[in-house]
Each structure stands twice: as C-alpha cells, then as structure tokens.
Amino acid sequence: MERKINTGALIYKEKMKVNFYDLDYKKRVKISALLKMSAEIAGSDYIFRGLDHEFLWGNGYVFLLSRISLHIERFPQGSFLDASTWECGKKGAMFLRGYELCENGEICADGISGWVVANPNTRKIIRPSAFPWLMPQFCDKGVKALPIDKIQAENLEPVGEHVVKISDLDANGHVYNANYADIAANFLPEDFYEGDISDFRINFINEATIGEKIEILRELSPNRAVVAGNIGGRPCFETEFLLRK
C-alpha cells in the first residue's frame, strides 16, 4: 500500500488529439468527447502522481465521476488541444477538479468536476478524509463553468427509453460516464442540438448496468434543455444543456 506520491506542479498539462470520430455531423467536438478528454487527463494526472487505476483498485479504491460542468467558449477547430487539470478542494464526499482546454493560446472550454472514491467491490463511498494518499496540488484557478449543483426541473416528461447495451459499459462494469452525454443528446430536438451550446452539466446519481431500461425524461425551453434518466423510478442521471443567449 506504500506509494511515493509525485507532488510535481499544481497544474498538470498534456497535449490532446481531436480525432475525426470525436466530431458530430456539424463538425463540432461532441460533448461526450470533451467529457472523455476531461476523464483522460484526470487519469493521467493520477498516474503521474503514482496513483494509477491498477494500484488503486488493488488496494480497494476507485475514483468515480459524480458530477461535471463544462463551459464551452467555442468548439475547437483544429486537431490538437492544450489540456490542463488541477485539484481545487473538496466538497462533502467529492474531490473537486478543474479543467481547461485551449487552442492556439485561447480557451475553448473549461470545467469543474466532483469525483468520489469508492470500494470497487462494495461500491461504498469513502470520504476524502479516509483516503490514505494526499494530493498536494490544490489550486484556486477559476473557471466559467456553472457550479456542480443539483439540476432543477419542474416539468419533466417521458420521451422514450434507452436499454443499456454491452458497448455502453466501461471497465468498472457500468455505463461509461461520457456515454450518458450521447444518450441525452439523442433525445434533444435537432434544432436545439444544432444551436450554440454554451454550457453542459451532468450529475451521475445511480449506476446503470447491462440490460437495464433507462426511462428518459425531458424538460425543454427555448434556451435550456434538461434530460434525465430513471431506472425503475430510481434516478440514474440528470443533464442540462444551455444555449448561448
């Protein structure tokens, strides 16, 4: 269980490639791709510190994404982005982490996320105070992304369902976090999806596994869409899309 932690710099940086399959039919980077980049650089930061997935799993720990909020200043146009991430404190059971994606020195998107540590077998949440390794890289660099709060909706209406398939799952055995963004996007009206999306938030409430039916609910207004999912009446996820006014 002993592991020397690389304290390094407060902000971890990495160049990331935008692939053709990361683009949608409007030639914009998919929100799910932005989520994948955020998760990838967060994982790279932990690997750099000495806390890779295999080491943590072997010692009874796994990081699970609980909430993330993205602000999109503009969708990237090129093939490479300068990505950065940093730890920015704790909130309840969550480790908070910030992100920034830049192209040619200009910020394309930034974000804030909350990660929880759980036992990989029992899925029991482990509070930050009980996590045995310190991550001494606290940074108070601000972002434009909205807070990772509960997403409010008063008039959610059922619009369909998504049955969890094998391809939805990740190595933890549940639906991969970025895939929920694609599921939610599939239930947006085409004219709303093609609008100038400025912000996206998603909260992961309960995991979904193979064969489960996720009932999709939606609340729609001219500049805002909330898409949520329930399994057997139990909340699974909630998302919010905002259009630039």
pLDDT digits (tens, 9 = 90+) for 188-235: 999 999 999 999 999 999 999 999 999 999 999 999 999 999 999 999
Domain end call among 82, 115, 130 = 130
pLDDT tens, 64-84?
Answer: 999 999 999 999 988 999 999
At residue 2 the predicted structure's pLDDT band, cuts being 50, 70 and 90, is low
| Any domain includes 30 | yes
Position 49 scores a pLDDT of: 87
Give the CATH number, domain containing residue 202: 3.10.129.10
Examine the domain organization and report whether 48 and 90 are in the same domain: yes
Checking if the pLDDT of 138 tops 80, the result is no
Whether residue 176 has pLDDT greater than 90: yes
- pLDDT at 134 (0 to 100): 73
Q: For 89-135, what is each residue's pLDDT tens digit?
A: 899 999 999 999 999 999 999 999 999 999 999 989 999 999 998 76
| Residue pointed to by tokens 């976090």 | 177
Q: Are residues 110 and 24 in the same domain?
A: yes
Asked if pLDDT for residue 5 goes beyond 70, the answer is: no
Count of the separate structural domains present in the chain: 2
Express each pLDDT in 29-58 by its tens digit: 999 999 999 999 999 999 998 899 999 999
Q: Would 27 be classed as within a structural domain? A: yes
Q: Is residue 2 part of a domain?
A: no
Same domain, 125 and 20: yes
- Would you say residue 141 lies in a domain? no
In this structure, is residue 3 part of a structural domain?
no
Q: Are residues 177 and 101 in the same domain?
A: no
161 in any annotated domain: yes
63 and 115 belong to one structural domain: yes
Give the pLDDT confidence score for residue 172 in this predicted structure. 82
pLDDT at 137 over 90: no
Domain span at residue 30 reads: 12-130
Question: pLDDT grade, residue 245 (50/70/90)?
Answer: confident
- Measured at the alpha carbon of residue 97, what is the angle toward residues 95 and 103, in degrees to the nearest 5? 170
Residue 3 has pLDDT above 80, yes or no: no
**Residue 57's pLDDT is what?**
94
pLDDT for residue 242 is more than 90: yes
Any domain includes 206: yes
